[in-house]
């Protein structure tokens, strides 16, 4: 698309821009970089700590996350490797302060209660990171949300639990390749509320075959009955090597083409968005809705400015100039090979980055823009100028031209200091985000060999 006006005529769901650069832009680094060197000049007083647990009891049809369904017998060795990596990171980075922490996957609650307890104790012993000290989120699934596991989370002070429900309707869950019974979902939600976890987030996915705005509202209403503090609405994507992708269809229903599927997803999103707003939820982004103010406790953190330390196979880390991780895979064979390699690493390998992407000056600017502009609050021109020393709309010609094009097309508006997406722009975040990537980054992603 040469101009933002083409975004209005094209698909609303081009791709989920949750990070920049995406992992499919990562490659083996020409020279492995010692972590001590990579972090030498980086501020380390407000870091995000992300821990990846790559195990699930089952793999959903839509899932392209880095996860393995054959985790039995591997948890102990994996936690040993995590401990070694955490010790190595602590020694390489020196004094640091964690501002936020999250456990994702996979399904962290795949771990039994004693293993969860061990993981939290190891994080505190190695990196001084404790849910009792900083806001911490843990992902879970209905089948692994047990009172025993939740008791461990609560005992350690976990503030937020995010549960992937996806749909309260059994027929729609099956259509997405996620066999589950609503009674089990409700039991899991009841267990979370009984455990007294302060913040409950419910994830829902829209766009399944046969789903209508009215049927998706059934799930929205069922979620609202639990008064979750947060709710995420994710559009369904069908990606290579996933269960739905292997079925051979490019869309959710063989009778539906891409354009009509795109329109149906957009219609579902709009009615769900309006319902959540009417229920008193503030829209934070295209996907995220929050009831009440964001928790203010803990050190401030800005993902577009501050760094992240990732632990575990599949976890990404980033400094201002270097993003790195283990290799990425979707297919079970590829994931298993990467997990095995991670478990076999010694301290020397944990102490260097050998796979990732360097960000040049333009990449850094675009990342800053993307991480703010795709939020409803938008981007402060003053914050941009303070960070990069040049005016937002008078900086890199290509980037400034694209931002001006968003304004002209009515996809964004400038209100004083703040550039923010309009209602039309926000609902097309999954088109705006990919459009703002550099051509070079898009080419690297296209050339990536997925395994």
Which of 428, 430, 414, 431 is CA-nearest to residue 378? Answer: 414
153's enclosing H/E stretch is: helix 147-156
User: What is the reported pLDDT for 302?
Assistant: 87
Tokens of residue 379, six digits? 């981007």
pLDDT in tens, 437-451: 999 999 999 999 988
pLDDT in tens, 390-431: 999 999 999 999 999 999 999 999 999 999 999 999 999 999
What SS3 string covers 309-376? EEECCCCCEECCCEEECCCCCCCHHHHHHHHHHHHHCCHHHHCEEEEEEECCHHHHHHHHHHHHHCEC
Q: What is the mean pLDDT of residues 38-52?
A: 97
Strands 199-206 and 160-166 come out as parallel
CATH of domain 361-446: 1.10.10.920
Strands 352-358 and 317-318 come out as unpaired
User: What is the reported pLDDT for 179?
Assistant: 86
Quick check: 142 pLDDT over 60? yes
Lookup result for tokens 């969860």: 116
Count of beta carbons in the 10 Å neighbourhood of residue 135: 22
The structure's pTM equals: 0.96
Number of alpha helices (DSSP H) and beta strands (DSSP E) in the chain: 18, 16
Asked if 196 and 154 touch (Cβ cutoff 8 Å), the reply is: yes
Query: Per the CATH hierarchy, to which homologous superfamily does domain 19-290 belong?
Result: tm_1862 like domain (3.80.30.20)
Which of the residue ranges 108-112, 253-257, 270-274, 429-433 would you say has the lowest mean pLDDT?
253-257
Separation between Cα atoms, residue 164 and residue 231, nearest integer Å: 10
Q: Where are the domains of the chain?
A: 19-290, 361-446
Separation between Cα atoms, residue 226 and residue 261, nearest integer Å: 30
């Amino acid at each position: 698309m040469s101009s933002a006006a083409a975004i209005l005529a094209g698909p609303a769901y081009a791709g989920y821009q949750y990070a920049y650069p995406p992992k499919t832009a990562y490659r083996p680094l020409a020279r492995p970089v010692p972590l001590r060197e990579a972090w030498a000049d980086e501020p380390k007083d407000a870091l995000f700590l992300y821990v990846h647990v790559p195990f699930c009891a089952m793999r959903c049809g839509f899932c392209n996350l880095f996860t393995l369904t054959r985790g039995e017998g591997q948890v102990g060795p994996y936690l040993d490797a995590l401990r070694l990596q955490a010790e190595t990171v602590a020694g390489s980075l020196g004094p640091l302060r964690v501002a936020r922490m999250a456990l994702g996957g996979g399904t962290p609650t795949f771990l039994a209660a004693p293993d969860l307890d061990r993981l939290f104790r190891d994080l505190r012993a190695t990196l001084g990171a404790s849910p009792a000290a900083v806001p911490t989120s843990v992902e879970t699934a209905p089948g692994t949300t047990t009172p025993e596991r939740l008791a461990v989370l609560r005992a350690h002070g976990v503030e937020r639990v995010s549960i992937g429900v996806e749909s309260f309707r059994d027929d729609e869950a099956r259509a997405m390749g996620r066999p589950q019974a609503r009674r089990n979902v409700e039991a899991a939600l009841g267990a979370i509320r009984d455990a007294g976890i302060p913040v409950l987030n419910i994830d829902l996915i829209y766009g399944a075959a046969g789903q209508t705005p009215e049927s998706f509202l059934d799930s929205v209403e069922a979620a609202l009955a639990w008064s979750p503090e947060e709710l995420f609405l994710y559009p369904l994507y069908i990606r290579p090597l996933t269960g739905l992708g292997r079925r051979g269809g490019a869309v959710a229903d063989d009778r539906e083409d891409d354009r009509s599927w795109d329109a149906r997803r957009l219609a579902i999103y709009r009615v769900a968005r309006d319902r959540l707003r009417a229920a008193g939820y503030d829209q934070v982004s295209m996907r995220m809705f929050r009831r009440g103010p964001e928790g203010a406790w803990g050190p401030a953190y800005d993902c577009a400015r501050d760094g992240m330390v990732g632990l575990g196979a599949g976890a990404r880390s980033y400094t201002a100039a270097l993003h790195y991780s283990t290799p990425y895979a979707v297919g079970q064979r590829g994931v298993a090979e990467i997990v095995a390699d991670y478990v076999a690493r010694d301290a020397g390998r944990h102490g260097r980055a050998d796979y990732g992407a360097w960000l040049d000056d333009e990449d850094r600017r675009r990342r800053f823009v993307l991480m703010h502009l795709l939020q409803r609050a938008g981007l402060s021109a003053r914050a941009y100028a303070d960070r990069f020393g040049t005016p937002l709309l008078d900086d890199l010609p290509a980037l400034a031209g694209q931002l001006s094009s968003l304004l002209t097309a009515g996809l964004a508006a400038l209100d004083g200091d703040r550039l923010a997406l309009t209602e039309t722009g926000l609902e097309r975040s999954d088109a705006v985000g990919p459009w703002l990537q550099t051509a070079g980054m898009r080419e690297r992603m296209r050339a990536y060999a997925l395994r």
